[in-house]
A and B are shown apart, each in its own frame.
Chain A
Amino acid sequence: MIETLINLDLAPFLLSFKLAGLTTLILFILSLPLAWYLSQSKSKAKPFLEAITALPIVLPPSVLGFYILIVFTEVDLNFSFVGLVIASCFYSLPFMVQPLQGGFETLNKNMLEASYISGKNQWVTLLKVAVPNSKPALLTALIITFAHTVGEFGVVLMIGGSIPNETKVASIAIYEMVEIMDYTTAHIYSGIMVLISFLVLLSVYIFNHTQKKIGGFH
């Protein structure tokens, strides 16, 4: 047991966090304008966009993975880290967009209009007024997206394979350990996952709780 701990390969975890970090960053940048548009739009196209955005929640990861696999075969991105990042962006999109959209929708409309009246366009209003006043929604979106990407398994299995330091993330590593009946390592890996996930969620809830207590961010 001790020996297993000392020789434990932490690379899958580092890879998982690298993947989750990059995915979260890219999704944050892409989702801000999308979530903003969805929160402000009264267009007839809005329900369609919302439904497409929410698809990864209901689709089995294998369906998403299958389509991505087909597309990636054309552009030669299968079994690579870059491919994994792109696939994760699709997979975790709703977990970024929905909390952001929800946060923007609860903002005081008059406050946003006051910004327009002050001569500011949509972008300035989004970045200087909407974003700074949606901190709990922002934090929720970032953490949930990060955690959801760390917990990703099906899509990675289909398009990533298990190449060490390239596509072998923590969830895949655990699956492999179980397959080769190395339950000790599987236990340690799983334990680490449970602990990290719990701490992340706990910190979000503690943060939101204290924010509610002091009545916002001011």
Chain B
Amino acid sequence: MITIDINKKLYGSYGEMYLDIHLQIQKGDFVAISGQSGSGKTTLLRVLSGLESAEGTITIGNETWQDKDYTLPVQKRGIGFVFQDYALFPNMTVEQNLLFVENDKDLANYLLEITELTVLKDRLPATLSGGQKQRVSLCRAFMKRPKLLLMDEPFSALDPSMRKKLQNEILILHKKFGTTTIMVSHDPAEIYRLASRVLLLEQGTIKSDGTPKEVLLKTSGSQKFSFEGELLEIIKIDVIYVAIVAIGQQLVEIVVSKYEAKNLRIGSIVQLSTKAFSPIIK
């Protein structure tokens, strides 16, 4: 069990704010942290890893990582960390990157085998693709057999097929090593596939906490579909009003009443939902 009870003053995108987190995580859980940029997600990971300081306490199992007058240095926490930009050591080969962490050849070979990197073990990082680099980075994070694995948007620089492959490998390793994993992610599909629990951070505090289904599924009641989009324009055509909304990469038209049109503001984020129809998936 990990108990986190921390407070830290931050200078976010809206000026000063407090990262104020009170949280317990069961051993072996896979927790995803989501939220807008500037909400304190990355800082939370950095405080957990010991790269940044904060007030409060952090305990993991029967080890205290931080309390009132003691902070365990980052070097002694034995965590694994996967960075968004891989952060491999360019001067070392794939295998050396792993052995630098812990001189355990058997473990390195085992990890490289699972991630199908064995043939690349003598290559330098600069000669690898983004997906390969991130797999090396994942292997490196497991070289300490970490109790806690932290990942900061690990898939954001990868294409969709590579993401899926890496996600599967993460799940395999997470289970095999019995690691507790905390991952920052923006991608609902990815969170749904990997995590058993989601925390939604807003302005430094946890706004919602639950299973991916509870937190991420935006529909409520009898709603079947629900999307968030940006309202681009409202056009009056004869007696009706048509709102143009951008949902992701797609533009849609929605008929709205005169009263609705009055209350909508161009440029705002709106929620579209529909009920009772039969969707077709192709």
Contacts and interface: CB of A to CB of B under 8 A. Distances in A.
Interface of A: 108, 110-111, 113-121, 128-129, 132-133, 215-218
A116 B74 contact: yes
A interface secondary structure, majority: loop
17 contacts: A108-B87, A110-B87, A113-B83, A114-B81, A116-B51, A117-B51, A118-B100, A119-B75, A119-B101, A119-B144, A120-B100, A128-B100, A216-B126, A217-B90, A217-B91, A218-B91, A218-B127
B127 to A, nearest CB: 7
B282 interface: no
Interface string B67-105: 000000011111111010101111100000000111000
B256 interface: no
A110 B144 contact: no
Contact of A120 (B75, B87, B127): B75
4 cross-chain pairs, A with B, having the tightest CB-CB distances, nearest first: A110-B87, A218-B126, A132-B91, A118-B101
A132 B91 CA distance: 6
B90 A117 contact: no
Given A111-B88, A117-B75, A118-B101, 18 more contacts: A110-B83, A110-B85, A110-B87, A113-B81, A114-B83, A114-B89, A115-B100, A117-B51, A117-B74, A117-B80, A118-B102, A119-B78, A119-B101, A120-B100, A121-B75, A133-B90, A217-B91, A218-B91
A180 B51 CA distance: 65
B214 to A, nearest CB: 32
A218 B124 contact: yes
Contacts of B143: 118
B154 interface: no
B49 interface: yes
Contacts of A114: 81, 83, 87-89, 140
B49 A117 contact: yes
Contact of A116 (B75, B85, B91, B125): B75
Which of A111, A117, A121 has the most chain B CB within a 10 Å cutoff?
A117
Nearest to B86: A110
A153 B45 CA distance: 54
Nearest to A113: B51
B204 to A, nearest CB: 22
Contacts of B74: 113, 116-117
Contacts of B51: 113, 116-117
Given A118-B101, A119-B101, A215-B126, A133 B81 contact: no
B127 A117 contact: no
Given A118-B100, A218-B126, A111 B87 contact: yes
Contacts of A218: 90-91, 124-127
Nearest to B98: A118
Contacts of A215: 126
Contacts of B88: 111, 114
B81 A117 contact: yes
B132 to A, nearest CB: 14
Which of B79, B100, B143 has the most chain A CB within a 10 Å cutoff?
B100
B89 A115 contact: yes
Contacts of A115: 89, 100
Contacts of B85: 108, 110
Contacts of A118: 100-102, 140, 143-144
Contacts of B126: 215-216, 218
B142 to A, nearest CB: 12
Contacts of A217: 90-91
Contacts of A119: 75-76, 78, 101, 144
B102 to A, nearest CB: 8
Nearest to A110: B87
B106 to A, nearest CB: 18
Nearest to B125: A218
A19 to B, nearest CB: 32
A217 B143 CA distance: 26
A216 B80 CA distance: 28
